[in-house]
Amino acid sequence: MADKLHFNLVSPEKELMSADVDQVDIPGTEGWLGVLPNHSPLMTTLAPGMVRIRTGSDEARIFVRGGFAEISPAGLTLLAEEAMKAEDLDAAAIAQKVKDAEEDLADADTDEKKLAAQQSLDRLKELQAAL
C-alpha cells in the first residue's frame, strides 16, 4: 500500500474499477492533477476529460464527465456521473456524431430544440477534444 495508490472509479450504476495503481492523472476543474501514492487529502470537482491511469508501464484511459475526486489516505476515489473507456470510443464515429449534432442544431426551429441540440453538441465536442 505504501508505494501504490488505491484507485476507485464509481459511477451511479456500478463500481467500474478498483485497483492499486502507480499514478492517476485527473482533470480537475482548476487544472490537471497528477495523483501519486501518499497524496495529501484533497477534494475537487471534475472537468470533462480523459483520466489516465498508470500501472507499471501500462496506461489505461477513461473518459469521465461530471463528478468529484476525493483523495484520502485510503486512496483516490472518483465519483463520475459518466465514464467510458477510451478503447470503446471511436474517433471516426464521434466525428460523425458531431456532424449529425451540428445538423440537428441547424435544423432546430424552437428554442427548446436548439438548447437540446446545443447541449448534445457540446457534450460530443468535449468528448472529441479529450480523445
Partner 1 sequence: MPSLKDLKNRISSVKSTQKITKAKQMVAAAKLRRAEERATQARPYTERMEAVLANLSASAKGNPNAPKLLSGTGKDETHLLIVATADKGLCGGFNSSIVRKAREAIARLQGEGKTVKIVTVGRKGDDMLKRLYGDLVVWKTNFVEIRQVGFEQAHEIAEKVLSMFEDGEFDVATLFYGKFKNVVTQIPTAQQVIPAEAPEGVETPDLKGAIYDYEPDETEILRALLPRYVAVQIFRALLENVASEQAASMTAMDNATRNAGEMIDDLTLQYNRARQAQITKELIEIISGAEAL
- Contact residues for partner 1 (CB under 8 A)? 8, 10-15, 28-30, 40-45, 66-68, 70, 72-74, 77, 79, 81
DSSP the chain: -TTSEEEEEE-SS-EEEEEEESEEEEEETTEEEEE-TTPPPEEEEB-SEEEEEEETTEEEEEEEEEEEEEEETTEEEEEEEEEEEGGG--HHHHHHHHHHHHHHHHH--SHHHHHHHHHHHHHHHHHHHH-
Q: How far is the CB of 122 from partner 1 (least distance, A)?
A: 17
> Is 68 or 126 the residue whose CB approaches partner 1 more closely?
68
Q: How far is the CB of 101 from partner 1 (least distance, A)?
A: 18
> Is 28 or 59 the residue whose CB approaches partner 1 more closely?
28
